[in-house]
C-alpha cells in the first residue's frame, strides 16, 4: 500500500465540488486516511511548491492558492501516487479526458481543481508539510 497527498484547491472548494471529487476517489478505491481543511498563506505556498518557485507562473499559482480554503487528503491505495495522477488528469486543459477529475471539476491551467503528489518522496514531504 502507498500513501499520497491530494489537495482540493480553492476553485473546487468554492464551486462546491469537494463532494463530487471525493465520490470519484471512493469509486476508484482510494481510502481516505486523514483530512484537513485549511488556507494557504504565501510562506506555506512557497515551501509546498518549492520546485516551482523560479517558474514564470509561480506568482499566479501563489495568488490562486492563497485565494480561499483548500482541503488536503491523505489517500491510500496500491500504487497510489500513479493511480491518483491518472485519475486527476492532465495539467493542460485541452488534454483532459472524460472520467478524470480535472476534466469534470478543473478549469484553467492554474485553477485546475486538484493537486496530487508526483512521486512517493514528494508525497511524504507534502504530507509532512500540510499535516505538521
Ligand atoms: P499542481 O498539480 O498543483 O502543480 C503545480 C501547479 O502549478 C499546477 O497544478 C497548476 O495549478 C500550476 N500551474 C500554472 N501554470 C502552469 C504551467 N504552465 N505548467 C504547470 N503547472 C502550472
pLDDT mean over 82-93: 97
Q: d(Cα 90, Cα 96) in Å, to the nearest integer?
A: 5
Measured from the Cβ of residue 34, the count of other Cβ atoms closer than 10 Å reads 14
Q: Which domain holds residue 68?
A: 2-130
What are 26-85's pLDDT values in tens digits?
A: 999 999 999 999 999 999 999 999 999 999 999 999 999 999 999 999 999 999 999 999
What are 105-128's pLDDT values in tens digits?
A: 999 999 999 999 999 999 999 999
Tell me, yes or no, if 115 is annotated catalytic: yes
Joined grid coordinates for residue 44: 506555506
Check if 110 has its Cβ closer than 6 Å to any atom of ligand 1. Answer: yes
Look at residue 89 and give its three-state secondary structure.
coil
Predicted TM-score (pTM) of the model is 0.96
- Distance from the alpha carbon of residue 14 to the mean position of ligand 1, in angstroms: 19
Look at residue 66 and give its three-state secondary structure.
coil
Measured from the Cβ of residue 56, the count of other Cβ atoms closer than 10 Å reads 7
Structurally, the chain folds into a number of domains equal to 1
What are 4-22's pLDDT values in tens digits?
A: 999 999 999 999 999 999 9
Q: d(Cα 15, Cα 18) in Å, to the nearest integer?
A: 8
- Distance from the alpha carbon of residue 61 to the mean position of ligand 1, in angstroms: 7
Q: What is the CATH classification number for the domain harbouring 104?
A: 3.30.70.141
Check if 102 has its Cβ closer than 6 Å to any atom of ligand 1. Answer: no
Amino acid at each position: 500500500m502507498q500513501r499520497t497527498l491530494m489537495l482540493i484547491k480553492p476553485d473546487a472548494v468554492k464551486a462546491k465540488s469537494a463532494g463530487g471529487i471525493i465520490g470519484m476517489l471512493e469509486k476508484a478505491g482510494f481510502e481516505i486516511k486523514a483530512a484537513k481543511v485549511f488556507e494557504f498563506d504565501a510562506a506555506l505556498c512557497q515551501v509546498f511548491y518549492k520546485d516551482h518557485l523560479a517558474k514564470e507562473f509561480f506568482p499566479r499559482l501563489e495568488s490562486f492558492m492563497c485565494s480561499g480554503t483548500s482541503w488536503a487528503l491523505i489517500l491510500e491505495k496500491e500504487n497510489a501516487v500513479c493511480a491518483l495522477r491518472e485519475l486527476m488528469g492532465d495539467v493542460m486543459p485541452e488534454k483532459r479526458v472524460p472520467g478524470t477529475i480535472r476534466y469534470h471539476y478543473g478549469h484553467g491551467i492554474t485553477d485546475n481543481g486538484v493537486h496530487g503528489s508526483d512521486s512517493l518522496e514528494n508525497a511524504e514531504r507534502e504530507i509532512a508539510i500540510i499535516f505538521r
